[in-house]
Amino acid sequence: MAVTIRDVAERAGVSVATASRVLTGSRNVSPVLAERVNTAARALGYRHNAVASALRRGRTNTVGMIVPEIGNPFFPSIVEAVERRLQESGRDLFLCDAQQDVTIERHRARALADRQVDGLIIVPVSATESRATLVEAVQRTPVVQVDRYVEEYPADWVGVNDELGVGLAVEHVVALGARRIAFVSASLDSSSAQQRYAGFERVVKRHGLPSDTPRLLGTFRAEWGRSAALQMLAEEPFPDAVVCGNDEIAIGLLGEFRRSRIRVPEDVLVTGFDDIRFAQLADPPLTTVRQPGEQLAAECIRLLDARMIDRDLPVQRVAIAPSLVVRESTGGSS
Contact 307, 144 (CB under 8 A): yes
- Side-chain half-sphere CA neighbours of 95 within 13 A: 16
Applying CB under 7 A, among 10, 11, 30, 322 the residue interacting with DNA is: 30
Of the listed pieces 5-13, 162-170, 203-211, 241-249, which binds DNA according to CB under 7 A?
Answer: 5-13
Cα dist. 177→213, 241, 284, 321, 329 in Å? 16, 9, 19, 25, 14
- CA dist 91 and 2 (Å) reads 24
Q: Is 48 in the site for a copy of itself (CB under 8 A)?
A: yes
Q: Is 57 in the site for DNA (CB under 7 A)?
A: yes
Applying CB under 7 A, among 10, 33, 92, 101 the residue interacting with DNA is: 33
Of the listed pieces 44-52, 98-106, 245-253, 280-288, which binds DNA according to CB under 7 A?
Answer: 44-52
114 binds, among a copy of itself, DNA, none (CB under 5 to 8 A by kind): a copy of itself
Residue 13 or residue 71: which is nearer to DNA going by CB? 13
- CA dist 157 and 94 (Å) reads 20
Q: Is 23 in the site for DNA (CB under 7 A)?
A: yes
- CA dist 49 and 71 (Å) reads 33
Residue 58 or residue 314: which is nearer to DNA going by CB? 58
Q: Which segments of the chain does DSSP mark as H helices, in order?
A: 5-12, 16-23, 31-44, 50-57, 74-88, 102-114, 131-140, 162-175, 191-206, 222-233, 247-259, 293-309
- CA dist 98 and 9 (Å) reads 44
SS3 call for 166? helix
Residues 284-303 interacting with a copy of itself (rule: CB under 8 A): 285
- CA dist 197 and 188 (Å) reads 8
Instruction: For residue 52, count other CB atoms closer than 10 A to its CB.
Output: 11
Q: Is 2 in the site for a copy of itself (CB under 8 A)?
A: yes
Q: Is 17 in the site for DNA (CB under 7 A)?
A: yes
Contact 181, 213 (CB under 8 A): yes
Of the listed pieces 4-12, 89-97, 173-181, 266-274, which binds DNA according to CB under 7 A?
Answer: 4-12
Of the listed pieces 156-164, 166-174, 250-258, 264-272, which binds a copy of itself according to CB under 8 A?
Answer: 250-258
Q: Is 14 in the site for DNA (CB under 7 A)?
A: yes
Q: Is 20 in the site for DNA (CB under 7 A)?
A: yes
Q: Under the rule (CB under 8 A), what is the footprint of a copy of itself?
A: 2, 47-52, 54-55, 60, 62, 70-71, 73, 76-77, 79-80, 83-84, 87, 92-97, 99, 104, 108, 110-111, 113-116, 140, 222, 251-252, 254-255, 258, 277-278, 281-283, 285
| Sites of contact with DNA (CB under 7 A) | 1-2, 4-6, 13-21, 23-24, 27-30, 32-33, 48-49, 52-53, 55-58
